[in-house]
Amino acid sequence: MASRLKLTPFALALAASASLPSIAQTAPARLEAITVIGKAAPLLDVGTAEVTGFGAPLAKSPISVTVLSADLLTASGVQTLSQAIKLDASLADSYNTTGYIESLSIRGFLLDQSGNFSRNGLATSNIAPIALESMERIEVLKGVAGLQSGVAAPGGLVNYVTKLPLKQPFTRATLGADGRGGAKLQLDVNQKLGSSGVRLNLVDESLHPQFDDANGSRQLLSLALATELDSATSVSADFSYHRKSQPSVPGLGLLDSNGDGVGDMLPGGINPRLNLNNQVWSQPFQGGSTTAEVVITHRLAADWSARLAANTQNIHINDRLAFPDGCSSAPSYVYPGLCANGDVDIYDYRSDGERRTVSSWDARLDGKFKALGLQHATRLGLNWRTASADLAPMQAYNWVGITNIYAPVALQADPTLTSLNTDSRERALAGYATLTSDLSPGVQSFVGARVTRLIRSSERSDGTRAVSFEQTVTTPWAGLAWSPGPSTTIYVSWGQGVELEAVPNRPDRFANSGQVLPALKSEQTEIGLKWQANPRLLLTAAAFSVDKPYADDVPAADPAALPTQVAGAKTARHRGIELSAAGRLDAALSLQASLMALDAKYTEAVDQPLVGQRVTNLPRLKASLFADYRLAALPGLSFNGLATFENGKKVTADGRVGLPSAWQLDAGFSYIQRVAGKETVWRFNIENLSNRSYWREAPTTYWGGVYLFPATPRTLRASVTVDF
C-alpha cells in the first residue's frame, strides 16, 4: 500500500482495548432477543423493523421497508451511506461528494436532514458525518412517514439502529486498507461487567480518496450498556463520538456551449483526480458529533409494556471550501454552469464554529387487548423534539478569481468575513396512536395518526429577517392487509405527510415576506404483495403514487411589482413500481435484489413549460443485485458481487440535458479460517471492477446551481478480522 496506518494516540488506545479481559460468560438475558442463532452471515432476512411504528412482521405489514444489516454492509464492502444507497433501487444520491455531509432521496424525494432521520427511534440530525461501524442495521421506510416522524419530507424515514451488547463475549479486531493508501483499524469488544453487558466500538481511519489533496482522517468511539434492574425492567444506554476531517471535493457544472448564459453540455476529458478545492489555502471540512441516549423498558403485564427513551446530539462543524459557482469570463455571465472553455468562478467560503443540537424524548405504551370480539394491538405515545443551529455571526463568501477545469489556476485567498449567518430554533410536541386489528383470520387493519405542534423560528446574526410561527398538523395513515395463505400478504395503504414553510422575511423580494404558509400536505397511495417464499426469503412488489405540493413564487400582474410566494403553486407526482427479494435461496446463495421504475413529473407549476417535465436527478429505471455464494467444496470461502444499473436521469429542468445510462459491477470474496486458534476472516472487495468512468448524479441545489459528480474509479479494499 502507498502508506502505513498512522499510529495516532487514538489508534494506540484501540490496540490497548483489544486486551480487555472477558469478565463473564453471558450478557443480560433480555439481549438474547437480538442475538441471531443459527444464521450465517451475510444476514439478509431481517424479520422486523422498528421504523414501521406498528411492530408487525415485515412480511405481514402494509408498508415498504428495506433493512440493510451490518452483515450486508460488510460483505458488500460498503464504507459510507453513499455506498449503501447502491444496495436498494429506491434510494438515490443527492449532492453526495467526498468530504461532505451525505444526503439521499427515497422514491425520488430528497429527505430533510433533520426531519427524516432517527437513531433507535429518536430524532437525530443527519448534518454530520455518519459512522456505519456502530450500526447494527439501517432501516429504511419508503414513502410518506407522517405517522412515524411528523413534519418531514414525503420520501420516507431512515432509522439508524446501533449495536447493543450481545449474549456471548468477544473481542474482534479488524485491520483494513485500500489501494490508494487509506487504512483503518477497528475494535468491537463485547463483554459483561457484573450484571451489565457492554459493547465498545473504536475506529481510527486514514482516508485517501482518488482526488488530489483530499486526504483526511476520522475517529469513532461508541459505547453501549445494557442491564436488567429486575425481571420486568431493563435499561440500556448509548454514547457515541464521531469526528471526521477531510477536504470537500466540489462538483462540476454543465458547459455553456451556445453562449446564452446557461450550461447545456456535459463536460468531457476531465482528469479523474480533479479537485477544484485544491488551493494552497484550502482547509478541510471538519465535522464532529456526540450523541448520548438512554432507554428504559418495563413490562406492566403479560400483554402490556412501557418504554421511555431520551437522547441528545451535539454537532460541531467547520465548513470550508474553494467553491466553484458560475462563470464571469464569457461575454454573458453563465449561471448555472461553466463557460464553454471550462472557466469557472471560485469563491472562498468559510463558516467556522457551526453548532447544532438535537434533543428528544419518547414515551410510549404498547399493548394487546380484545374488544368487539376482535384481537387488537395498540401503541400510544408522546414525543418531544427540540433542535437549534447556532452559527458564528459572520461567514466568508468572497469571489477570488477564475480557474479552469482543464488547466486549474492558483488563486489568492480572501477569508474576509463578509456575510451574515442565520440561526434557527425548532420545537415539536407530538402525540401518536396506532391500532392493528384482526378483522378475520386472514385480514388485518392498520390505522394511526400523529398530531404535531411545531414551533419554528430563525433570524440572521444581526436580528434581521426574523421569522417565527406555530402550527398544529395531523398526519393520518391507514392500511388493510389480506393473507390468502400463510406465506402471502396483499395490502393497500394510504397516508399523509406534511411540511411547513414560511416566506423568507425579505421585503425587497416578496410581496408577502414573512407570511406563514398553509401546511404542505403530501398524499400517498400504495398497493403491494409480499410472499415469504421460504423461511429466509421474502419477495415483495409495490406500486405507489405520491403527490407532493411545493411553495413557489407567483408573479404579480404588474411586472414592476414583487412576486407572492404561494403554498401548492407547484406539484410533483411520483408514481412507480418496486420489486425486491431479500434473503437466502438455499444454503449456498443469499441475495439482496431490487428494481424501481419511477415516473416523477410536475403536474402543476407557475412556469407552465415545467408541467409534464421529469424531476431532475432521478432515474427512470434503477436496478440493484447483490449476491453472495458459498463454495461447498471449500468451506469458509464465499464470493459476492453487486451489480447496479440506472437510466433516465435528467440534468436540466427543461429535460434537454440528461445523464447517459450507467452501470457498475463490484465484486469480492471472504474466507474464514482459524489462525493460531483464532477465527480469522479475510475480505477483499473491488469497487467499480471495470473502472467505468461516468457521471453518477447531477443535483440541482436549492439556490439554483447544477453540479455533476463522477463515479468512484476502480478501488481495491482488503481487510482481516480476528476474534480473540
Q: What is the pLDDT of residue 258?
A: 94
The count of domains in the chain is: 1
Q: Residue 230 — φ and ψ, nearest 5°? A: -160, -170
Q: Residue 328 — φ and ψ, nearest 5°? A: -110, 10
Is the pLDDT higher at 689 or at 676?
A: 689
pLDDT tens profile 581-631: 999 999 999 999 999 999 999 999 999 999 999 999 999 999 999 999 999
pLDDT tens profile 515-527: 999 999 999 999 9
Q: In CATH, what number is assigned to the domain containing residue 425? A: 2.40.170.20
* CA 263-266-267 angle, 5° bins: 100
Please return the burial class of 252, using the count of CB atoms within 10 Å of its CB with bins 0-12, 13-18 and 19+.
buried
Helices marked H in 588-644:
none
Range(s) of the domain holding residue 156:
36-162+209-723
Structural domain includes residue 509: yes
Average pLDDT value for the chain: 92
How far is residue 550's CA from residue 344's CA, in Å, rounded to a whole number? 31
- Please count the helices (runs of H) and the strands (runs of E) in the chain: 4, 34
pLDDT tens profile 182-241: 999 999 999 998 889 999 999 999 999 999 999 999 999 999 999 999 999 999 999 999
Q: What is the pLDDT of residue 55?
A: 85
Supply 532's cell numbers.
Answer: 415469504
Q: What is the pLDDT of residue 677?
A: 87
Reported confidence tier of residue 48, pLDDT bands at 50, 70, 90 = confident
Contact 156, 148 (CB under 8 A): no
Q: What is the pLDDT of residue 676?
A: 87
Structural domain includes residue 27: no
Average pLDDT over residues 286-305: 97
Please return the burial class of 590, using the count of CB atoms within 10 Å of its CB with bins 0-12, 13-18 and 19+.
buried
Please return the burial class of 484, using the count of CB atoms within 10 Å of its CB with bins 0-12, 13-18 and 19+.
exposed
Q: What is the pLDDT of residue 27?
A: 33
Average pLDDT over residues 315-329: 97
Structural domain includes residue 351: yes
Please return the burial class of 545, using the count of CB atoms within 10 Å of its CB with bins 0-12, 13-18 and 19+.
middle
Q: Which residue, 321, 451, 456, 443, is CA-closest to 387?
A: 456
Structural domain includes residue 169: no
Cβ neighbours for 683, distance < 8 A, ≥ 6 positions apart: 74, 77, 668, 669, 670, 717, 718, 719, 720, 721
Reported confidence tier of residue 42, pLDDT bands at 50, 70, 90 = low
Reported confidence tier of residue 45, pLDDT bands at 50, 70, 90 = low
Supply 277's cell numbers.
Answer: 478545492
Please return the burial class of 667, using the count of CB atoms within 10 Å of its CB with bins 0-12, 13-18 and 19+.
middle
CB atoms within 10 A of CB 100: 18
Structural domain includes residue 709: yes
17-31, 139-153, 158-172, 593-607: the lowest-pLDDT one? 17-31
For residue 614, give the amino acid letter.
Answer: R
Average pLDDT over residues 680-709: 96
Q: What is the pLDDT of residue 369?
A: 96
Q: Is the pLDDT of residue 497 over 70?
A: yes
Entry pTM = 0.93
Maximal C-alpha separation, the chain? 83
Structural domain includes residue 16: no
Reported confidence tier of residue 12, pLDDT bands at 50, 70, 90 = very low
Report helix, strand or coil for 85. helix
How far is residue 492's CA from residue 445's CA, in Å, rounded to a whole number? 10
Q: What is the pLDDT of residue 56?
A: 85
Structural domain includes residue 179: no
Q: Is the pLDDT of residue 30 over 70?
A: no
- For β-strands 419-420 and 394-404, DSSP reports them as antiparallel
Q: Is the pLDDT of residue 568 over 80?
A: yes
Q: What is the pLDDT of residue 604?
A: 95
Structural domain includes residue 586: yes
Supply 187's cell numbers.
Answer: 475494535
Reported confidence tier of residue 2, pLDDT bands at 50, 70, 90 = very low
Q: What is the pLDDT of residue 548?
A: 98
Q: Is the pLDDT of residue 97 over 70?
A: yes
